[in-house]
A and B are shown apart, each in its own frame.
Chain A
Amino acid sequence: MSQERSLLSVRDLRTWLDTGDALVRAVDGVSFDVRRGETFALVGESGCGKSMTALSIMRLLPDAGGVVGGSIELEGTDLLKLPEAQMRHVRGRRVGMIFQEPALSLNPVMTAGEQIAEALRRHTGLAGAALEARVLELLEAVHLPDPARRRHEYPFQLSGGMKQRVMIATALACGPDLLIADEPTTALDVTIQAQVLDLLRELQRTRRMSLMLITHDLGVVAEMAHRVAVMYAGEIVETGAREAFFSRPAHPYSRKLFDSLPSGTKRGGALAVIRGSVPPLTREFTGCRFAERCDAAWDLCRKSTPGLYDAGNGQVARCHLYAPGAAREAGGGRREAEVGGEQRGTSREPRAASREGDQSPVTSHQSLLEVSDLKVHFPVHRGLFKRVVAHVKAVDGVSLTIESGQTLGLVGESGCGKTTVGKGILRLVEPSGGAVLFDGADLARMTRGELRPRRKDVQIIFQDPYSSLNPRMRIMETLEEGMAALGLGADREARQARVDALLAEVGLSPEIKLRYPHEFSGGQRQRIAIARALSVDPRLIVCDEPTSALDVSVQAQILNLLKDLQRRKGLAYLFISHNISVIEFLAHEVAVMYLGRIVERGAVDEVLGDPKHPYTRSLLSAVPVLDPATKRAVIRLQGDLPSPVNPPAGCHFHPRCPDAFARCREGYPGSARFSASHTAACHLYALKRDG
């Protein structure tokens, strides 16, 4: 495959899982090479077997899993044949691994320094002062701020980003040749993600280490990888160099993945969706695994399993389109044409839709919801008599306006209070101050009894499709609950009819109403959750990160659905998300939140196109983008979000702000107005406001 001898060479790896009821072929014949000093990215949606591949390499599979075939060679030694005692030597020393959830991969009762020292002691003979010095050196290498002090701190004292740095230091402790990073930044915020990715890139370059990056995020791949492999249903369907892959993805699945990514340019229309869902890996496959969902599939695809064919440009794809010889002449030419047509089709579609879309948003300029100076403070109790010693100012004076039929995107890092704003509006948490005017009535000051009839107007959709449905209630009961509580629908029969209609509206068959939530996939559950919110005919829906737990292709379906519902029913959304591209795709207006306050707001083009506030700018610059050409100059933020218990004096952002000056430490800035809709709270523009 390569001239250069590869460091890790995986051949025909098969890893199966025994769930008790069935055998899951989680990894089914995967072959790839990781060369020395390169970053190799394994991309795929959840359940495609990418983590299982990594765990197979480390031989850390769960009890129910086992490697049933293939070989994993690390510089000529087959790891699968090593005895466990030698394998332990390989782990950590030759191959390091970091996991998705830094909070779960550190031992909570050991200090950061001890955890690294443990790995060093196991694999090297270091002890005493030499060990101490090495620990410090490693912590410095991962740019942990104030390493001399932090090394004695426990994981709970560290932020998520710092924990991941400690994790990386542990993995690097013995200078491994290969570092496997399994979704290393998925649990982190964009700005922290940018820091960690920077660090990984730097370490990989300076140590000439190979990095195997496992991720679902194409943006991260675009920033990091040298070579890319795409996994689908337990197989690698495409490999190629990064540039080739991003300029012309070969496999129809890869193309579809790109098309289903939301972005501002696709705003006018619907996102391309991959129909159907990933086939269960419990069965044997005949033919291409993607055939059922592929627009370019023809008879051959269903009958014979495609091999890995050369797709030109250094790319290899598991697709009959690229089969050499006769097939290419006879079928391929036709295919090529059709695929081309299909591709044009997708690019034409948004344009067609955008014309239609331009007319559709109801620009009535009549505000539906007016939140002014909303405050949600949580008291911190201490001592025997639970005296209130401080307040967590989760939301500290937020004002926003949503017009009917419009979407306001609320962006910010985790912990900035954006979810609390949503819950405060619905009174799921009690606001401590401010007003929430819905249609002129202040929801924040109503008694429970007064609020109840109003509940039908504002509803909420949550992030986690797995915890948003009661596992013990059938879909029918879940959907009926709201109607029954708010007295909608004359009787049971009327409500039943409405349940059927709702399910049809969100694209599900009415027959499913008798089933229980565990029988559905994440995307279907999210549809049911949307149906539940719709059941009482709301006019505003608070969408609290409704797609962040979903795969890209499912996210596209849900975003399309939300958009479609807005057009048909004139719904308004408060769309809370940390994902800028989703906001870009869906929102009409954007508000950026930092530490309980809105720092910038305006129409979507204004804020995302011409950000004024330094925080907005750095947030946007940290977002990984697919096309390196459009990459903004990166503004790296230092440190983490401060605690909302005692926010920094003056402008909350000044300790991390690259443009901070003396005045920023003194007082919180007033807001500067740039256009009718665009405002930002920053001292940089104070003159503008004054003048």
Chain B
Amino acid sequence: MPFKLVILWTDALVFVLLAAVALFALHVRRHDHLAAPWRKVARSPSGMAAATVLAFFVAIGLADSLHYRPAIAVKDGKAVYAVEVLSVFDKLAERLRTRKATTYSAPLATHRYTKESIELPDGRQVRDYPRLKHGGSHLRDPVADWAPDVARRCLYGIAAGSVIWFVLATLLCAGLARGGATDTDTVWRAIWRGGTEVPWRTVLVTLGVLLAVGSPLVALAAKYHVLGTDKVGQDVFYQALKSIRTGLVIGTLTTLIMLPFAILFGTMAGYFKGWVDDVIQYVYTTLSSIPGVLLIAAAVLVMQVYIENHSEQFETTIQRADFRLFWLCFILGIASWTGLCRLLRGEALKLRESEYIQAAKAFGVSEFRIIARHIVPNVMHVVLISVVLNFSGLVLAEAVLAYVGVGVDPTMTSFGGMINSARLEMARDPMVWWSLAAAFCFMLLMVLSANLFADAVRDAFDPRIRAARPFRLAARKP
């Protein structure tokens, strides 16, 4: 075998989550009343634009979650695998990963950021900005050729982006035309008139903007360090892309871990009242009075000791880093289930008095069956809203934790790590700003689109928010 599949803890959970989402989607499709609010989400232009951007992040995150160890040699008929664990994404971005500079260089630079002594071929030494090993190394005369080369590559990128966009748009139209039993042309015109139920125009425009920005970046990345390099010469663009997975994993797995606690305890407290409620309330009141950072710091320290004492369990550094990430998710989950639990308790308190539950009690239906059949399905909208709203908060929390020093493993790239290292870079003279800027832009884009999507979901699911659409009769007066 040319590779050995490595399934890290978080990978496994990510794929379990993916499967769960797929099953849920299948279930929703079959039940009209469940699908109705999702159709409302699909009709929201801002929600769909955000979903398009999120899809891009998720695609990168998933590609970065398929890990393997490549075979480096064959010994005695057995393959020997590299110590380094790579992901599919690493393979795709191999040039970004391997072409390292020595130290800082500015975005798109051909020379290093600071002067150094260079030994000329004739033995003299000068202090100058040395040429980079990879960034713009193909240019014969960097001063004269740089601008035309960058422009040319940008154009190439945009051209390639347009082709991709047209292919995707045509596929979409063809797909819609098949579904709607019309021809592609009609669908195309309907989309641009804004006449489709799902705002495909918004989706296509968002996709266009994404490709217009993304493809020149990718085109340039082949020969330059588009977003510069960091202290050890690693490409910042690559780091930013790698951070996406960390952010996504923290944002989703944490919720996955906390959900069972929150749902079970919340509904039980609300439904049973009495001493069950007292105990659960006592637990979460205590838990939420301990400062979260303190709890997490303590847990991370405990975990570090564990890793050091059981080093045989962790073959590679990435496995260690991953275990730490998993543990962080777990502990964040423990610290954050209380909010949702409170909400669900309130909701269950209200529901337990409702007449259909009284009717079920009159039939002697068992308590846990009532919780499972009557209460949980009726609080799912609260769960869903809080899950999507929590996501962005957790991504941001990771950044804060890294800054405090209890975040993910230093060897694992994350937005928090990038921001943390930028602390020193910003103090340098001349200032190194691109690390922070890259982390900021990527994180902003991800959190903003997650928030917009969460808004669309909340609007669709929250029963209190009715379609408060302003009256649009002016055009329809008889």
For the complex, is A19 an interface residue (Cβ under 8 Å from B)?
yes
For the complex, is A248 an interface residue (Cβ under 8 Å from B)?
no
Interchain CB contact under 8 A, B471 and A18: yes
Binds B, one of A63-71, A189-197, A227-235, A395-403: A63-71
Binds B, one of A257-265, A268-276, A309-317, A478-486: A478-486
Interchain CB contact under 8 A, A485 and B364: yes
Interchain CB contact under 8 A, B471 and A426: no
Binds B, one of A104-112, A158-166, A460-468, A571-579: A460-468
Q: Which B residue sits closest to A448, measured CB to CB?
A: B364
B354 partner residues in chain A, CB cutoff 8 A: 467-468
CA distance A544 to B477 in the complex (A): 46
Interchain CB contact under 8 A, A467 and B362: no
Selected from B355, B374, B473, the residue in CB contact (under 8 A) with A18 is B473
Interchain CB contact under 8 A, B471 and A481: no
Shortest distance between the CB of A450 and any CB in chain B (Å): 11
For the complex, is B423 an interface residue (Cβ under 8 Å from A)?
no
For the complex, is A518 an interface residue (Cβ under 8 Å from B)?
yes
Interchain CB contact under 8 A, A481 and B355: no
Interface residues of B in 350-406 (CB under 8 A from A): 354-356, 358-366, 369, 373-374, 377-378
Interchain CB contact under 8 A, A470 and B358: no
Shortest distance between the CB of B260 and any CB in chain A (Å): 20
Selected from B467, B470, B478, the residue in CB contact (under 8 A) with A19 is B467
A481 partner residues in chain B, CB cutoff 8 A: 360, 363, 365, 373
With contact pairs A16-B473, A18-B472, A518-B33 given, residues A455 and B467 touching in the complex (Cβ less than 8 Å): no
Interchain CB contact under 8 A, B468 and A23: no
With contact pairs A452-B364, A455-B364, A470-B378 given, residues A462 and B358 touching in the complex (Cβ less than 8 Å): yes
Interchain CB contact under 8 A, B470 and A482: no
With contact pairs A16-B473, A20-B469, A64-B468 given, residues A471 and B378 touching in the complex (Cβ less than 8 Å): yes
Selected from A65, A69, A455, A467, the residue in CB contact (under 8 A) with B355 is A467
Selected from B361, B471, B477, the residue in CB contact (under 8 A) with A64 is B471
Selected from B32, B466, B473, the residue in CB contact (under 8 A) with A68 is B473
Interchain CB contact under 8 A, A460 and B356: no
Interchain CB contact under 8 A, B356 and A459: no
CA distance A62 to B373 in the complex (A): 36
Interchain CB contact under 8 A, B356 and A467: yes
Interchain CB contact under 8 A, B363 and A473: no
For the complex, is B476 an interface residue (Cβ under 8 Å from A)?
yes
With contact pairs A18-B472, A472-B377 given, residues A455 and B362 touching in the complex (Cβ less than 8 Å): yes
Interchain CB contact under 8 A, B373 and A473: yes
Interchain CB contact under 8 A, B467 and A20: yes
Q: Which A residue sits closest to B468, measured CB to CB?
A: A63
Shortest distance between the CB of B198 and any CB in chain A (Å): 16
CA distance A387 to B32 in the complex (A): 49
B469 partner residues in chain A, CB cutoff 8 A: 18, 20, 63-64
Shortest distance between the CB of A454 and any CB in chain B (Å): 9
Q: Which A residue sits closest to B477, measured CB to CB?
A: A68
Shortest distance between the CB of B24 and any CB in chain A (Å): 14
CA distance A472 to B376 in the complex (A): 10
Interchain CB contact under 8 A, A516 and B33: yes
B471 partner residues in chain A, CB cutoff 8 A: 18, 63-66
Shortest distance between the CB of B371 and any CB in chain A (Å): 13
Q: For chain B, which range describes its interface: under 10, 10 to 19, 20 to 34, or 35 or more residues?
A: 20 to 34
CA distance A516 to B31 in the complex (A): 10
**Which of B359, B365, B366 has the most A CB atoms < 10 Å from its CB?**
B359
Interchain CB contact under 8 A, B374 and A470: yes
Interchain CB contact under 8 A, A529 and B359: yes
A169 partner residues in chain B, CB cutoff 8 A: none
Selected from A63, A451, A472, the residue in CB contact (under 8 A) with B364 is A451
Q: Which A residue sits closest to B374, measured CB to CB?
A: A470
Interchain CB contact under 8 A, B478 and A482: no
Interface residues of B in 30-55 (CB under 8 A from A): 32-33
Shortest distance between the CB of A502 and any CB in chain B (Å): 14
Interchain CB contact under 8 A, A462 and B355: yes
CA distance A68 to B473 in the complex (A): 8
For the complex, is A11 an interface residue (Cβ under 8 Å from B)?
no
Shortest distance between the CB of B42 and any CB in chain A (Å): 15
For the complex, is A498 an interface residue (Cβ under 8 Å from B)?
no
Q: For chain A, which range describes its interface: under 10, 10 to 19, 20 to 34, or 35 or more residues?
A: 35 or more
Contact with A along B401-443 (1 / 0, CB 8 A): 0000000000000000000000000000000000000000000
Interchain CB contact under 8 A, A423 and B358: yes
CA distance A464 to B354 in the complex (A): 9
With contact pairs A20-B467, A63-B471 given, residues A460 and B374 touching in the complex (Cβ less than 8 Å): no
CA distance A65 to B366 in the complex (A): 45
CA distance A458 to B369 in the complex (A): 21
A518 partner residues in chain B, CB cutoff 8 A: 33
For the complex, is A171 an interface residue (Cβ under 8 Å from B)?
no
Shortest distance between the CB of B382 and any CB in chain A (Å): 13
Selected from B355, B366, B472, the residue in CB contact (under 8 A) with A468 is B355
Interface residues of A in 41-84 (CB under 8 A from B): 63-66, 68-69
Interchain CB contact under 8 A, A426 and B362: yes
Interchain CB contact under 8 A, B473 and A485: no
B467 partner residues in chain A, CB cutoff 8 A: 19-20, 64
B468 partner residues in chain A, CB cutoff 8 A: 63-64
Interchain CB contact under 8 A, A462 and B378: no
Shortest distance between the CB of B137 and any CB in chain A (Å): 59
A486 partner residues in chain B, CB cutoff 8 A: 363-364
Q: Which B residue sits closest to A19, measured CB to CB?
A: B467
Shortest distance between the CB of A137 and any CB in chain B (Å): 40
Shortest distance between the CB of A429 and any CB in chain B (Å): 10
Shortest distance between the CB of B106 and any CB in chain A (Å): 52
Interchain CB contact under 8 A, A464 and B355: yes
For the complex, is A495 an interface residue (Cβ under 8 Å from B)?
no
Selected from B361, B374, B472, B476, the residue in CB contact (under 8 A) with A428 is B361
CA distance A464 to B369 in the complex (A): 23
Interchain CB contact under 8 A, B358 and A23: no
Selected from A16, A473, A485, A529, the residue in CB contact (under 8 A) with B365 is A485
For the complex, is A536 an interface residue (Cβ under 8 Å from B)?
yes
Q: Which A residue sits closest to B353, measured CB to CB?
A: A467
B32 partner residues in chain A, CB cutoff 8 A: 516
Shortest distance between the CB of B179 and any CB in chain A (Å): 22
Shortest distance between the CB of A220 and any CB in chain B (Å): 27
A451 partner residues in chain B, CB cutoff 8 A: 364
Interchain CB contact under 8 A, A482 and B356: no
Interchain CB contact under 8 A, B362 and A460: yes
Shortest distance between the CB of B364 and any CB in chain A (Å): 4
Interchain CB contact under 8 A, A455 and B356: no
B378 partner residues in chain A, CB cutoff 8 A: 470-472
A65 partner residues in chain B, CB cutoff 8 A: 471
A411 partner residues in chain B, CB cutoff 8 A: none
CA distance A111 to B467 in the complex (A): 33
CA distance A458 to B362 in the complex (A): 8
With contact pairs A467-B354, A468-B356 given, residues A485 and B363 touching in the complex (Cβ less than 8 Å): yes
Shortest distance between the CB of A59 and any CB in chain B (Å): 13
Interchain CB contact under 8 A, B359 and A455: no
For the complex, is A35 an interface residue (Cβ under 8 Å from B)?
no
CA distance A71 to B362 in the complex (A): 54
A residues with a Cβ closer than 8 A to B are 16, 18-20, 23, 63-66, 68-69, 423, 426, 428, 448, 451-452, 455, 458-460, 462-464, 467-473, 478, 481-482, 485-486, 516, 518, 529, 532-533, 536
16 extra interchain contacts, Cβ-Cβ under 8 A, other than A426-B362, A468-B355, A533-B359? A16-B473, A18-B469, A18-B473, A23-B473, A63-B471, A65-B471, A428-B361, A452-B364, A455-B363, A464-B355, A468-B359, A470-B378, A471-B33, A481-B363, A486-B363, A516-B32
| 5 tightest Cβ-Cβ pairs between the two chains A and B | A482-B363, A462-B355, A468-B355, A472-B377, A66-B471
A-B contact pairs, 29 of them (CB 8 A): A18-B473, A23-B473, A63-B468, A63-B469, A63-B470, A64-B469, A64-B471, A66-B471, A66-B473, A68-B478, A428-B362, A452-B364, A455-B362, A455-B363, A455-B364, A459-B362, A459-B363, A460-B358, A462-B358, A464-B355, A468-B354, A470-B373, A472-B378, A473-B373, A473-B374, A485-B364, A486-B363, A518-B33, A536-B363
